[in-house]
Amino acid sequence: MTDLPRIPLAAVIGHPIAHSRSPALHGYWLRRYGIKGHYIPMDVATQDLQQALEIMPKLGFVGANVTLPHKEAVLKLADVITDRAALIGAANTLIFRADGRLHADNTDGAGFIANLRQNAPQWDPTAGPAAVFGAGGAARAVIAALIEVGAPEIRIVNRTRPRAEALRSDFGAKITVVDWVQAPNMLEGASTVVNTTSLGMTGKSEFRVPLDALERTALVTDLVYTPLKTHFLIEAESKGCTVVDGLGMLLHQAVPGFERWFGKRPEVDEATRQAVLSA
The distance of closest approach from Cβ of residue 196 to ligand NAP in the complex, given in angstroms and rounded to an integer, is 6
The distance of closest approach from Cβ of residue 183 to ligand NAP in the complex, given in angstroms and rounded to an integer, is 10
The distance of closest approach from Cβ of residue 268 to ligand NAP in the complex, given in angstroms and rounded to an integer, is 12
The distance of closest approach from Cβ of residue 229 to ligand NAP in the complex, given in angstroms and rounded to an integer, is 14
The site string for ligand NAP over 130-149 (x = CB under 6 A, - otherwise) reads ----xxxxxx----------
Beta pairing class for 154-157 and 102-105:
unpaired
What amino acid is encoded at 8 in this protein?
A: P
Using the rule CB under 6 A, is 225 a contact of ligand NAP? Answer: yes
Query: Per CB under 6 A, which region of 24-32, 38-46, 235-243, 246-254 contacts ligand NAP?
Result: 246-254
61-66, strands of its sheet edge to edge: 38-43, 9-14, 61-66, 93-96, 102-105, 80-81
Nearer to ligand NAP, 62 or 113 (CB): 113
Backbone phi, then psi, for 141, in 5-degree steps? Answer: -65, -40
Q: Which of residues 12, 224, 233, 276 is near ligand NAP by CB under 6 A? A: 224
Catalytic residues: 71
d(CA 30, CA 59): 19
Of residues 77 through 136, those in contact with ligand NAP by CB under 6 A are 108, 134-136
Q: Which of residues 66, 146, 201, 241 is near ligand NAP by CB under 6 A? A: 201
Beta pairing class for 102-105 and 9-14:
unpaired
Long-range (24+ apart) CB contacts under 8 A made by 114-122 are: 114/248, 114/249, 114/252, 114/255, 114/268, 115/221, 115/244, 115/246, 115/248, 115/249, 115/251, 115/252, 116/219, 116/221, 116/244, 118/248, 118/252, 118/268, 119/244, 119/248, 120/219, 120/242, 120/244, 122/242
Of residues 42 through 71, those in contact with ligand NAP by CB under 6 A are none
| CB-closest chain residue to ligand NAP | 136
Of residues 155 through 194, those in contact with ligand NAP by CB under 6 A are 158-160, 163
Specify which residues 242 forms β-bridges with. 219
How many positions of this chain bind ligand NAP (CB under 6 A)? 24
Which residues contact ligand NAP by CB under 6 A? 108, 134-139, 158-160, 163, 196-199, 201, 205, 223-225, 246, 249-250, 253
